[in-house]
Amino acid sequence: MKNYPPPASTALPTELGVPGAGSALVVNITAAPASVDVMHHGRKVAIMRNQNQSNTVNPDFAKTSRKCPPCCIQPSELAPGVKTIAELEVLHFLKNISDGDAFMMVIDSRTPAWVEKDIIPETVNIPWDTLNVGKSDLAAVQEILENQLCAKRQDDFWNFDNVKTPVMFCNGPWCEQTSTTVKRLLKIGYPAHKILWYRGGMEDWKASG
Could you tell me the residue ranges of all domains in the chain? 68-207
22-36, 53-67, 75-89, 150-164: range with highest mean pLDDT: 75-89
End-to-end CA distance of the chain: 30
> So what CATH class is 68-207?
alpha beta
| Average pLDDT for 117-140 | 92
Q: What is the pTM of this model?
A: 0.86
Q: How many other CB atoms sit within 10 Å of the CB of residue 51?
A: 14
pLDDT of residue 169: 98
Do 145 and 157 form a contact (C-beta atoms < 8 A)? Answer: no
Could you write out the DSSP letters of every residue in 64-99?
Answer: S---TTTSPPPPS--STTPEEE-HHHHHHHHHHHHT
- Please give the Cα distance from 145 to 132 (Å, whole number): 11
Q: Quick: pLDDT tens for 159-188.
A: 999 999 999 999 999 999 999 999 999 999
- Please give the Cα distance from 152 to 10 (Å, whole number): 38
pLDDT of residue 170: 97
| Average pLDDT for 50-79 | 94
Confidence of residue 154 (pLDDT cuts 50, 70, 90): confident
